[in-house]
Amino acid sequence: MANHKSGILSFLIYIAVLLISACQNTQHPATPNVDKLPPKSTITPTLTPIPTVTSTWTPTSTYTPLPSPTATNSEPAGCQKPPDDYEIRTINGMLINARTYSMLLHAQELYSGELELTGYHFTQGSYTNLVSASFGTHDGGGAVDLSVIQYGTYKVLYDDIDPLVHALRVAGFAAWLRDFDQLYPGSPIHIHAIAIGDRDLSQAASDQLTGKFGYFRGYNGLPQEEWQSPFPDEHGGPVLCQWMMEMGYDILPISTQP
Please state the domain extents for the chain.
Answer: 88-246
Q: Mean pLDDT over residues 136-146, rounded?
A: 97
> Who contacts 43 (Cβ-Cβ below 8 Å, separation ≥6)?
none
Looking at the whole model, is its pTM more than 0.85? no
Do the beta carbons of residue 79 and residue 243 sit within 8 Å?
Answer: yes
- 169 CB contacts (<8 Å, ≥6 apart)? 175, 235, 238, 239
Q: 105-132 pLDDT, tens per residue?
A: 999 999 999 999 999 999 999 999 988 8
Task: Flag whether pLDDT at 15 surpasses 70.
Answer: no
Q: If you average pLDDT over residues 157-186, what whole number do you get?
A: 97
Q: Each residue of 145-157: pLDDT tens digit?
A: 999 999 999 999 9
Residue 225: the pLDDT is 85
Question: How far is the C-alpha of 10 from the C-alpha of 18, rounded, in Å?
Answer: 13
Strands (E), 53-210: 88-91, 94-97, 122-124, 143-147, 173-178, 190-195
pLDDT in tens, 200-211: 999 999 999 999
* Poorest-pLDDT segment among 55-59, 69-73, 89-93: 55-59
Sheet holding 173-178, edge to edge: 122-124, 143-147, 190-195, 173-178
Q: What is the pLDDT of residue 254?
A: 77
Number of H helices, E strands in the chain: 5, 6
